[in-house]
Amino acid sequence: MDSQWTLSNPVFRTWALSSSILAVKLLLMALFTARHRIAKKVFANAEDARIANGKVKTDEDVERVRRAHLNDLENIPAYWIISLIFVLTEPAAFTAKVCFYGFTAARVLHTFFYLNSVMPFRGISFIIGQILNAFMAIRCVIFFI
């Protein structure tokens, strides 16, 4: 057996759980955007504004959620793949847990800090996520080169 992508591998199960949690988190961002759009009656499309009796306009609260969402899109799909490849490098269970749950926690906190305009904690949680992704990605490049 030369694959690590099996349910009998605890590191792989940790990957699956952290990735699923991040998927739920990412899906929630669309709801946050929708909630702000409906509350403020500001929309991106004329046909939406017409239905909701609102207008086509950019709004700082909506844009803030959208920036947090876009930041997730820049980081979470990269995490999903790089951590999956990282499983192949047979990391110690502890290392994998630190990377996987650490990244997940960093991204959840990043959004919390972003939506509440809390600096420098938003920056710190972003950097922790970046460092964990970079650590795994570089280890994968070295492993497979």
- Nearest approach in angstroms of CB 89 to a second copy is 9
**Toward a second copy, which CB reaches closer, 13 or 35?**
13
The pair of three-digit structure tokens given for residue 135, joined into one six-digit string: 């650590």
**Toward a second copy, which CB reaches closer, 26 or 108?**
26
Q: Is 3 helix (H, G, I), strand (E, B) or coil?
A: coil
Binding footprint of a second copy on the chain (CB under 8 A): 2-3, 5-8, 13, 16-17, 19-21, 23-24, 26-27, 29-30, 44-48, 50-51, 64, 67, 69, 73-75, 77-78, 80-82, 85, 88, 117-120, 122-123, 130, 133-134, 137-138, 140-141, 144-145
Q: What is the 3-state secondary structure (H, E, C) of 28-93?
A: HHHHHHHHHHHHHCEECCHHHHHHHCCEECCCHHHHHHHHHHHHHHHHHHHHHHHHHHHHHCCCCH
